[in-house]
Amino acid sequence: MTLRVAIGADHGGFPLKAELTPWLRENGYEVLDLGAETLIPTDDYPDYALAVAEAVASEKVPRGIIICGSGIGACIVANKVPGVRAGPCHDTYSAHQGVEHDDMNVLCLGARVVGGALAREVVEAFLKAEFINEERFQRRLQKVLDIESKNMPRKKGG
Ligand code: RB5
């Protein structure tokens, strides 16, 4: 179970971040809140997405949560940071399977897509999940890492 998590949101995600952050703390998680600290209607999601992604990539925290309006912009930004594997998840299956099979380390949420109750269940599924250390998942993850390092894999999976 992951107990340390970074969180960030632009104006589109701010209301959901304001709801999730105290709830995470009440449930024993150490939360690194990377903003926005207040609702700033003109702010830009890449700034918060990058801050969370860098906290995860630098191993300051093992997991991150980024919230924007849709979860999509946040995800696009986060996946540009080497070492980050982000996915937009609005259901609990994707949230835990993304970690178990794909070693997803950043969850992206759309505050205009999910309500607080479902978002809490999705976050819980994400944070409680662990990567399954089986050869097939390791092999696929290694291919992802090879692509990331520009060492494109050519062989088909066994
Ligand atoms: C902000 O209005 C909105 O465009 C942003 O939060 C996000 O949904 C982008 O993906």
Instruction: List, for residues 29-52, the tens digit of each pLDDT value.
Output: 999 999 999 999 999 999 999 999
Contact (CB, 8 A) for 69 and 111: yes
pLDDT of residue 150: 85
Ligand 1 site: residues with CB under 6 angstroms?
10, 12, 45, 68-70, 72-73
Q: Judge whether 106 lies within some domain.
A: yes
pLDDT of residue 152: 62
Residue 2 has pLDDT above 80, yes or no: no
Domain that holds residue 146: 4-151
Six token digits for residue 5? 């998590």
Number of separate domains in the chain = 1
Q: Judge whether 156 lies within some domain.
A: no
pLDDT of residue 93: 98
> Percentage of the chain with pLDDT > 70?
94
Q: Judge whether 145 lies within some domain.
A: yes
Active site residues: 68, 101
- Point out the ligand 1 atom lying closest to the alpha carbon of residue 13: 6
> For all residues of the chain together, what is the average pLDDT?
95
Residue 38 CA to ligand 1 center (angstroms) comes to 16
User: What CATH number has the domain bearing residue 34?
Assistant: 3.40.1400.10
Q: The whole model's pTM is what?
A: 0.94
Residue 149 CA to ligand 1 center (angstroms) comes to 29
